[in-house]
Chains A and B, each alone.
Chain A
């Protein structure tokens, strides 16, 4: 039974204050969005810490709180599985995929598909990706709307519409820069709120005897199987280890390799090394936190329901577990903060997806096919219009998801159908030089058809389930988890078969786009041979010079600046090297910064000489010192 839960007036004040604050925050940072590059990628200027934190907020959606608290409440620590099994493909992500997309200067994954394969593969990829992300927007909005509707009596569609409208405002106006900074703020709230419930839960379990006793009781009341960090190997059918393992092998892969929202965070980094640091901070430091944030309330709830069933009904519906546990543990005001955290989780996921959808619509469809050669201002305007349309589209999908029996079913319905073919085509494309453009297209097509077939005839998944000892008959037959493995195998087999009967692209046309040509990608990125000599960072002041004949730019339209001979020596830089110039205040995270190419040194003692357009483009302040480092 779900207890009667009401918002106290102070809770409402906290939620309204939160909404107002986050909207103001997003609008403030919208002034840093001047071009499509800023709108989609934040100008490729940010530090790892800020990107990793905002990435965490994008990964943790409101559905995460609902889904993982539910799993934690019913099964214990095994709810952490999905967050802690992503390390296996980090070698490929860190040494291949991040360098390839960063150095290739692609603006979207479909754009990579055109350069690595052809226009047909790009369109297919864009289509699948758009369906995936629009589905994610609708699903995430739907999840929170469902909670609001069930517990507070708010009309489902009205709740979703208000949340989508507020999120849409700051994305439409602010773009990626606004998203990165609002997500940073929301990440802080998520961490505080999740940890708050866990700590209060431990204190509750201490029964007045303190935190240490509470911790002891938490562990003591959990049965052994709830303490194990993995579910049972192949049972129960709705939550077992091997099913989650394979579903995640595809879903997590797509999240880090293909999900345009996260890819754009890597591309927003000031350098490739910083993109790697973003991944490291996220995977090693923040994801373990995320496990506790989203699963921890369920874990303490599990122990509380055993110690004090009169306070927390062990039969509480899983979908309500987070709100019920938070309501039990939090005083008025703090409970408002929890609800705000749920909303923050939703907004920070939805904003990323809507912006990413907009990027794909402009970069992969509108600009190349519908309106090539228009001004950047025009594309920026259309990007904002698309953001509004995408928000409305996601909202419309709420009605579709509402027809499913559960949020799990709704989630599985779209991710299982879309992610495996994309994952296979990216892996083959980046690792296998022989993999052909036709094979990439047919990999995605065959995989999508196979997904449709597996929904019509679920029996095709049975061999993969039987191989792992899972139940394949009666009501316990639930193919949704292992459908991912089925589609990975079918897509892969299709891709391999087509490759051997079709012609690959010449090696010269895919330089920098596969594992054996990373060095070529580095050289293309820089525009000259890379320099690996390591120097030190330099702090100096700006000297603005009037540029005769207009702003000084190189052939790639990058600003050209000059430093003193001594500074160039300290940086170990040569003329033509790529420099990163940022306001010396590190806590700004790169919001005031730009990339520029080094000119031959000037003869003054120190100072960075640049023209005014560079100062404006980098949002630099003339009287503030800057920190300079050599990028490549």
Chain B
């Protein structure tokens, strides 16, 4: 039986440490105006970047929930 910490720690580390890297990058591009939000195309790409991060997190979380709560007793099938 794997522990809850062992199960959830990778997700927390991935989006904790990875999230810090992401936020540092985002802060730098906004402060330096490499992403200039006065420009429509840059606003679009900023939305894409943040949305992409949310999408990846959502997919990972969804697979976690499916793994733990849909057919939780893995190792046996039907038929």
Q: Is the interface of A mostly helix, strand, loop or mixed?
A: helix
Q: Which residues of B contact A231 (CB under 8 A)?
A: 10
Q: Are B22 and A91 in contact (CB under 8 A)?
A: yes
Comparing A108-116, A185-193, A222-230, A320-328, the segment that makes contact with chain B is A222-230
Q: Are A99 and B34 in contact (CB under 8 A)?
A: yes
User: A283 at the A/B interface (Cβ < 8 Å)?
Assistant: yes
Q: Are A307 and B77 in contact (CB under 8 A)?
A: yes
Q: Are A205 and B18 in contact (CB under 8 A)?
A: no
Q: Are B66 and A94 in contact (CB under 8 A)?
A: no
**For chain A residues 82-110, which have a beta carbon within 8 Å of chain B?**
84-85, 87-92, 94-96, 99
Expressed in whole angstroms, the minimum distance between the Cβ of A252 and any Cβ of chain B is: 11
Given the known inter-chain contacts A216-B78, A280-B48, please indicate yes or no for A224 contacting B2, CB distance below 8 A.
yes
Q: Which residues of A contact B55 (CB under 8 A)?
A: 284
Q: Which residues of A contact B74 (CB under 8 A)?
A: 219-224, 226-227
Q: Are B77 and A91 in contact (CB under 8 A)?
A: no
CA distance A410 to B8 in the complex (A): 32
* B72 to A, closest residue via Cβ: A224
User: A505 at the A/B interface (Cβ < 8 Å)?
Assistant: no
Given the known inter-chain contacts A213-B79, A224-B68, A241-B13, please indicate yes or no for A90 contacting B49, CB distance below 8 A.
yes
CA distance A219 to B63 in the complex (A): 11
User: A209 at the A/B interface (Cβ < 8 Å)?
Assistant: yes
Q: Are A84 and B9 in contact (CB under 8 A)?
A: no
Q: Are A516 and B67 in contact (CB under 8 A)?
A: no
Mask, B15-27, CB within 8 Å of A = 1, is 0011101100110
User: A534 at the A/B interface (Cβ < 8 Å)?
Assistant: yes
User: A518 at the A/B interface (Cβ < 8 Å)?
Assistant: yes
Q: Are A223 and B26 in contact (CB under 8 A)?
A: no
Q: Which residues of A contact B13 (CB under 8 A)?
A: 233, 241-242, 245
Expressed in whole angstroms, the minimum distance between the Cβ of B8 and any Cβ of chain A is: 9
Q: Are A95 and B35 in contact (CB under 8 A)?
A: yes
Q: Is the interface of B mostly helix, strand, loop or mixed?
A: helix
Q: Are B25 and A283 in contact (CB under 8 A)?
A: no
CA distance A515 to B48 in the complex (A): 20
Q: Are A219 and B35 in contact (CB under 8 A)?
A: no
Expressed in whole angstroms, the minimum distance between the Cβ of A624 and any Cβ of chain B is: 29
Given the known inter-chain contacts A224-B74, A227-B63, please indicate yes or no for A90 contacting B28, CB distance below 8 A.
no
Q: Which residue from B18, B34, B70 sits with its C-beta under 8 Å from A96?
A: B34
CA distance A91 to B46 in the complex (A): 8
* B39 to A, closest residue via Cβ: A532
Mask, A194-229, CB within 8 Å of B = 1, is 000000000001110100010011111111111111
Given the known inter-chain contacts A84-B60, A213-B78, please indicate yes or no for A219 contacting B71, CB distance below 8 A.
yes
Expressed in whole angstroms, the minimum distance between the Cβ of B14 and any Cβ of chain A is: 6
Given the known inter-chain contacts A220-B78, A241-B10, A284-B52, please indicate yes or no for A88 contacting B29, CB distance below 8 A.
no
Q: Which residues of B contact A209 (CB under 8 A)?
A: 79
Residue of B25, B28, B40, B41 with most partner-chain A CB within 10 A: B25
Expressed in whole angstroms, the minimum distance between the Cβ of A102 and any Cβ of chain B is: 13
Q: Are A92 and B77 in contact (CB under 8 A)?
A: no
Expressed in whole angstroms, the minimum distance between the Cβ of A243 and any Cβ of chain B is: 11
Q: Nearest 7 pairs between A and B by C-beta?
A: A227-B67, A230-B10, A217-B77, A91-B25, A220-B77, A241-B10, A95-B29
Given contacts A87-B22, A92-B28, 5 further A-B contacts (CB under 8 A): A92-B25, A205-B77, A220-B77, A245-B13, A276-B45
28 A-B residue contacts at CB 8 Å?
Answer: A77-B63, A87-B18, A87-B22, A87-B52, A88-B18, A88-B22, A88-B25, A88-B53, A89-B22, A90-B25, A91-B25, A92-B28, A95-B34, A205-B77, A220-B71, A220-B76, A221-B77, A222-B74, A224-B68, A228-B10, A229-B60, A230-B10, A232-B10, A233-B9, A241-B9, A431-B28, A515-B32, A534-B40
Q: B-side interface residues toward A, CB under 8 Å?
A: 2, 5-7, 9-11, 13-14, 17-19, 21-22, 25-26, 28-29, 32-35, 39-42, 45, 48-49, 52-53, 55-56, 59-60, 63-64, 66-68, 70-72, 74-79
Q: A-side interface residues toward B, CB under 8 Å?
A: 77, 84-85, 87-92, 94-96, 99, 205-207, 209, 213, 216-233, 241-242, 245, 249, 273, 276, 280, 283-284, 288, 303, 306-307, 431, 515-516, 518-519, 532, 534
